[in-house]
Structure formats: structure tokens, C-alpha cells
Structure 1
Amino acid sequence: MANNSTSSVNTSISESSSRCLTECVTTAHNFEVIRFSKLEGMGAGKFISSSTFSVSGYDWNIRVYPDEWKEEDKAAHLSVFLCFCSGATGVKVEYTLSLLEKDGRISQIASIPNTFWTVGGYWGRDKFIEKSKLKELLSRNGDCFTIRCVLTVMKEPRTEDLGTVIVPVPQSDMHTHFASMLKDGEGVDVTFSVGGQLFNAHRCVLAARSSVFKAVLFGKMKETTMKSIEIDDMEPAIFEALLHFIYTDSLSCDVDQIVALQHLFVAADRYGMDRLKAICEGKLCQRIDVQTVAITLTLAEQHDAVHLKNACLRFLSSQGVLRAVKETDGFKHLTTSCPSIMMDILDKVAPPS
């Protein structure tokens, strides 16, 4: 005879949770009505409206009907409505319409939920307050009152997984780490001699940021095996600014004067750093003046900077500017180094025939 036995097996049950959230955005708008007695008699269905106010991407205004909304009510009440001016239809709202006296005391209030299905639709209270009661209020408030609308827009509900933890992520500070690495000099493996001043750097960082540096430091040039590389046609301050941008992707605060920007612009083009070149070009476009425009135009022509060239030509086409620019040393240099640019200047300055 078989022996039947019952055994229980413990099994784990996985469990998860979620929740539904309905976000709400609330704002308030005050619509002050002054000298209300002058508005009475404008007729049933005629209204005044507040300025448009926005809540969560939806536009609204408040309508006040001094002689009521419907003619059959014989102007016995003040009518107040909220009007949906623009936005996605089907928006669900809750709002209150309150009548405030001068001291801020609420004399009348209506709380209203509604879903607006059409733009231009309005909803409120046609018998908001009796005229007899309103006249008493106006007599003690200088013939004025305020309609206050507190409006809450309910967004579409969304479901979130409670197992998901939202962790705030700090802003990237990678640039500060690279700047510190350059300043501290840890791990540097190449030195540049610029105008008698030495600058230490990291070959890999330079090569990653500039194809020209990559060719110099890892290509077949002799500099690949040199510990020190000499640069004799650049100011130390400009090379320092170049290194600062390579490590931080931002301009040094020392590069603010137009001459320094011109030199850094040339250096950026020389080392194939298009982003730095574009930043310098944009700043130079904003710093054009009589004394520097000729040199800047020369650089724009030599380094294929179309936006900067056009900005310079526009400046030269201003009335009386060219005459003053022709007296500068920069213009003399421009005519000898880029004679072809003179035709562009004439085309821009000469009046159309």
C-alpha cells in the first residue's frame, strides 16, 4: 500500500508597486473693475474682459457681464465667467470666482469644476451676485470691486513605477578636473617653449582635442620623440589661453581684448580647433571698430571666416566709416596682403548704379 504524504513547498512571490499621479498647476488673476456704474446699461450679453493670463500652457481671461448674460433675466444680477482662450482642448480645471472689496474682504464666491472642450468656451455663474447687493458694496468701495480667479489646471494623470528611484544628478564638473590636472602638472609628458616660457601638458589630451596636435605628437614628425617642443610665432598668453580651452572647453577670462581675440582666432585655425575658432569669430563680430576693422577683415579673408568678413564689410559700408578706416595702419596692411578684398569693399560701399 502506497503511503501518500503531503509536502509544502515555500515559493517566493515577487512584488512590485506603481502609483497614479495627477499633477496640478494653480495660479490666481485679479481683475479690477473701476467706476462700475458707468458700465451699467451696456445691455444683456455685453461684457468686459480681463487681460489674458496663462496656466501650464493654457490661456484664459475673465468675463464680466454688467447687465447679465441673458436678456430674460432683466439685468438683475452681475454675471461672471471664465473663458478658455487657447490651448489643447479637453482641459480639466477647478476654479473659484470671488468678488473682493477694497480691503480684500470676500463678498461673494463661487467654486466651479469644469472641462473645457472648445477654445472660446466659457463657464461660470450667470447670477453671480444680485445688483441690489452689489450696489451696497459699491457705495462703500468707491464704485469699484475686484474679481479674483484662482484657477487650477489638472494635467493628464501618469503612472510611475515606485521601484524607480529618481536620483538628482549634479552638473558635470569634468572641466574643473581637467583644469586641475593642467594646473597641478600631474602626469604631464610634453613641454612647450613659447616665447621663452615653458608650458607642460598631456599628449593624449592635446591629441584628443586637436587633429593637428595629434599629428605632431603621435605622427611621423620628429616632435613625437621630443620632450620639449618650441613654438616661436605665438605669444605665451595666447598659447596659455589655447591650452585653457583644450582642457576646459571654455574661454579664459584673460582673453577679452580684441587683439588677444584676433591672435587666439588665428591659433584656433592653425590647430584645427573649429569650435574655438567659431567662438572667437562670433566675439570679433561684436568688437568691430574703426581702428581694428581692417586687421580683422584681413584675418577673416586669410582664415576663411565668412561671417566675420561679412560683418566687417557691413561696418565699412556705413556712411563715413571707410574714409576714417583708410587712415589706419591696418588698412595699409590690408591693401598689400589681401588686394583682392578691395573689390569686395567697393561692391559693398559703392552705391548701386
Structure 2
Amino acid sequence: MAEHCKISPAIVAESEERSYAFKIDGYSRTKRLIKDYEGVTSPPFCVGGHDWILRYVPKNGVLVSVYLVLDSADAKDVKAKVRFCLLDKDGVPVPSYSHTIPEHVFPGKGSAWGVVNFIKPEDLERSPHLIDDCFTIRCDVTVMKKFKGKENGQFVVVPSSDLHRHLGDLLKSGDGTDVTFQVDGKTFLAHRSVLAARSPVFKVQLFGAMKGSSDDQIIVDDMEADVFGSLLHFIYTDSLPQMSHEGDNQGVAASHLLVAADRYDVQRLKLICEDKLRSYIDSSTVATSLVLAEQHSCHGLKEVCLHFLTCPSNLEAMIASDGYEHLKSSCPSVLKELIARLLPAELKAAKDILMAI
């Protein structure tokens, strides 16, 4: 007769989650009045049986920072996972300004943890997310709670998915690669199955009916090696690599990566680049951004550009920019659409005639 096995109940970690939106009213006034490295705190909110507050630091050196602070007097060693994100005008998180912090232990009241480099002030000020001198930061807090069984057992915690890390390591190591790309004089090794799973274009190229018999090495034309490398990084890890560029160069890098994402139909990457480019719109870049948006069906980016140009001074500066002639020759239909928007509402007939030309 088989013996019965006795299994001790384990201590299982469960969690409680809550999102809290902290609206910063009067950004310019706050930035002017608050001293360097000092902050503004939100009203307290409760998650997992503990009180928390958000601390917003408008001038942490050259950065805007945000922190989650434990505010319960009797709290001790509270484990929580935190995500900070900037919200757009529709209350949707902006991917390029979203930061997830792995599980962190808050020792007691007043302990804080957060993101020092949440956003640069100049990036926030020229972004469409600063509306009427206000913007909103959302904090998603997940507090881990422990429930112990009747008998002592082991502590069981299910970690967050690290599939992206394993795939990223696979790309770096080159283990098991079965396809080679030559891009702008540089060689890239990759895995057909991973590329095909993430890109419909790669799937057709590598496994479709048009696949050649000698395509172990593929030459990619009209693309820089760094851009293709960033594309592969995203395909394997679902994240952007750390950008070495600064300022306007980041906008150029995002433009090139958007073109690559559109070329290989990696839609999430395309949207991330599109959202990133919205932060770099000014009178010197709006013309080229409009061309990019029109040629690659980036409707959100196009709307931001057209809205920017409804301001007469912005329109005049764009016409004087180097990109205006390129816009006029490449996408005349966009200029017609812009003019139609600038016409008064009562001139509907004129708008219809203009758009029909």
C-alpha cells in the first residue's frame, strides 16, 4: 500500500495594487518658487493597508524627479513594486516616460524610492503633455502581502517575467543563430524564429514562399548599422536600447528607428518612436516631422505637427526653415490640409474646393 505524503502549506505572497494620479497645477510657478532639490508632496493615499505619498522634485539638478514615500508610522519592511508614468491629454501613459521599479523594501515611515531621471524640464516644456501649464504623473503601486499557512513552510514568491532578459542575452551571445545580416558594413547574427515571431516582414522574408535558397546572409540596404542594431534589440527585448545621443540627436535617432520599424512592420516600436518624436517638435523640425508622419502613416505625429502650425508665429518660422522646401515638394497634400485647417469655419466651401484640387 502506497504511503501518503504530507505537504506543508507554504507562505504565499499575494499583492494589492492601486494607481494614484498626481496632477501638477502651475508647473512654471512651482518650478520658480521651489528651491533646488526640494519637493512638493501629494495627499496621502492607501495601498496594501499602508499610507503613501508622492514627492515631486521639479529641480533635481537638471532633471525632474519623482519618489514614492511610505507614510505609515507603524509600517516596517514593506515590499512594493512601483511604476511611474507621465500621462498624455487622454490619461494614457506615455511609453517613453514610463519607469518601472522592481520590488523594493521600504524599511519604515519616511523611506522613499523613485526615479531621479523621470524627465528633463526642457523635454517636458516642449512636449504636448504639458497642457495649460499642468501635467499628470501616475504611480502604480503593488504592495506584496504575506499569508502564512497553519504549519511552517517555505516562502513562495513568483518573480516578474524575465523573458526579455533571457532573449536579450541570447542575442548578445550569438548562441544558435541561423541567419546573418550585413548592414552598412557591419555583421549581425540573429535567430530566424525570433524575428519571424515579432515581424510579419521578417516572417515572409525568412520563411515565406519567396525565400531564396541562399539567404543565410541577407544584405540590408538604406539603413545605418546602429539603427538595425536598435531594431534587433527591441525585437528581442521589447525595449529601446540606452540612447547615447543627446538633445536633437535623439530626435534624429528616433526618426531613423521609426522608418526601420515601419519597414519591418514592428508596430509597437513604431508607436514608441512616434510618441518620442512628439517631444521634439519645434519650428526647425516640424516640416521634416510632417514629411515623416505622412510617408509612414503616423497619424498621431501628424496631428501634433498640424496643431503646432496653427500658431501663426510657428507657421512663419517653419516656412523659413530648411525643411519647408522638402515638405512642399514631397507632401503638397499636407500643405493643402494645413491651409484648409487655417481657414475660418464659415469658409467650408473653400476648404472643400482646396482639398479636391
TM-score by length of 2: 0.53
| 1:285-332 C-alpha deviation (Å, 9 max, x unpaired) | 111111111111111111111111100101111231111111223221
In structure 1, how many angstroms separate the alpha carbons of the residues matched to 2:4 and 2:184? 74
Could you tell me which residue of structure 2 aligns to residue 215 of structure 1?
204
State the secondary structure of the residue aligned to 1:340: helix
After TM superposition, give the deviation of residue 274 of structure 1 in Å: 0.7
The 3 A distance-change label for structure 1 pair 224 and 302 is farther
State the secondary structure of the residue aligned to 1:200: strand
Gaps of 5+ in 1: 1-8, 19-51, 59-157
State the secondary structure of the residue aligned to 2:181: strand
The 3 A distance-change label for structure 1 pair 255 and 304 is farther
Gaps of 5+ in 2: 11-42, 50-146, 347-357
Q: Which has the larger radius of gyration?
A: 1
Instruction: Indicate whether 1:227 and 2:216 are aligned.
Output: yes
Instruction: Indicate whether 1:340 and 2:329 are aligned.
Output: no
| 1:134-188 C-alpha deviation (Å, 9 max, x unpaired) | xxxxxxxxxxxxxxxxxxxxxxxx9977699651122322222212211121111
Instruction: Indicate whether 1:195 and 2:184 are aligned.
Output: yes
Could you tell me which residue of structure 1 aligns to residue 239 of structure 2?
250
The 3 A distance-change label for structure 1 pair 164 and 196 is same
State the secondary structure of the residue aligned to 1:187: coil
State the secondary structure of the residue aligned to 2:323: helix
**Aligned partner (choices 292, 298, 308) of residue 291 of structure 2:** 298
The 3 A distance-change label for structure 1 pair 163 and 284 is same
The 3 A distance-change label for structure 1 pair 202 and 14 is closer
**2:174 maps to amino acid:** G
After TM superposition, give the deviation of residue 254 of structure 1 in Å: 2.3
In structure 1, how many angstroms separate the alpha carbons of the residues matched to 2:45 and 2:168? 44
The 3 A distance-change label for structure 1 pair 250 and 224 is farther
In structure 2, how many angstroms separate the alpha carbons of the residues matched to 1:329 and 1:269? 25
| 1:77-106 C-alpha deviation (Å, 9 max, x unpaired) | xxxxxxxxxxxxxxxxxxxxxxxxxxxxxx
| 1:26-67 C-alpha deviation (Å, 9 max, x unpaired) | xxxxxxxxxxxxxxxxxxxxxxxxxx9876799xxxxxxxxx
Contact 2:8 2:153 in 1 (8 A): no
Contact 2:278 2:304 in 1 (8 A): yes
State the secondary structure of the residue aligned to 2:312: coil
**Aligned partner (choices 228, 240, 244) of residue 239 of structure 1:** 228
After TM superposition, give the deviation of residue 236 of structure 1 in Å: 0.8
The 3 A distance-change label for structure 1 pair 313 and 164 is farther
| 1:110-141 C-alpha deviation (Å, 9 max, x unpaired) | xxxxxxxxxxxxxxxxxxxxxxxxxxxxxxxx
**2:323 maps to amino acid:** G
Q: How does 1:85-124 map to 2 (within 5 A)?
A: none
State the secondary structure of the residue aligned to 2:332: coil
The 3 A distance-change label for structure 1 pair 343 and 15 is closer
In structure 2, how many angstroms separate the alpha carbons of the residues matched to 1:207 and 1:325? 41
The count of aligned residue pairs is: 216
After TM superposition, give the deviation of residue 211 of structure 1 in Å: 0.9
In structure 2, how many angstroms separate the alpha carbons of the residues matched to 1:328 and 1:267? 26
Contact 2:288 2:323 in 1 (8 A): yes
In structure 2, how many angstroms separate the alpha carbons of the residues matched to 1:12 and 1:245? 50
**Aligned partner (choices 291, 295, 300) of residue 307 of structure 1:** 300
**2:291 maps to amino acid:** T
Contact 1:216 1:224 in 2 (8 A): no
Q: Which runs of 4+ in 1 moved over 4 A?
A: 11-18, 52-58, 158-166
Could you tell me which residue of structure 1 aligns to residue 278 of structure 2?
285
Contact 1:211 1:272 in 2 (8 A): yes
After TM superposition, give the deviation of residue 221 of structure 1 in Å: 2.1
Kindly, what percent of the aligned residue pairs are identical? 47
- Which gives a bigger RCO, structure 1 or 2 (Cα 8 Å, sep 6+)? 2
Instruction: Indicate whether 1:324 and 2:324 are aligned.
Output: no
The 3 A distance-change label for structure 1 pair 339 and 166 is same
Could you tell me which residue of structure 2 aligns to residue 174 of structure 1?
163
Contact 1:269 1:277 in 2 (8 A): yes
In structure 2, how many angstroms separate the alpha carbons of the residues matched to 1:17 and 1:172? 25
Contact 1:192 1:198 in 2 (8 A): yes
Could you tell me which residue of structure 2 aligns to residue 107 of structure 1?
none
| 1:217-255 C-alpha deviation (Å, 9 max, x unpaired) | 011224463121011111111101101101111011127
State the secondary structure of the residue aligned to 2:182: strand
**1:184 maps to amino acid:** S
After TM superposition, give the deviation of residue 349 of structure 1 in Å: 3.2
The 3 A distance-change label for structure 1 pair 303 and 224 is farther
Could you tell me which residue of structure 2 aligns to residue 259 of structure 1?
252
**2:264 maps to amino acid:** Y
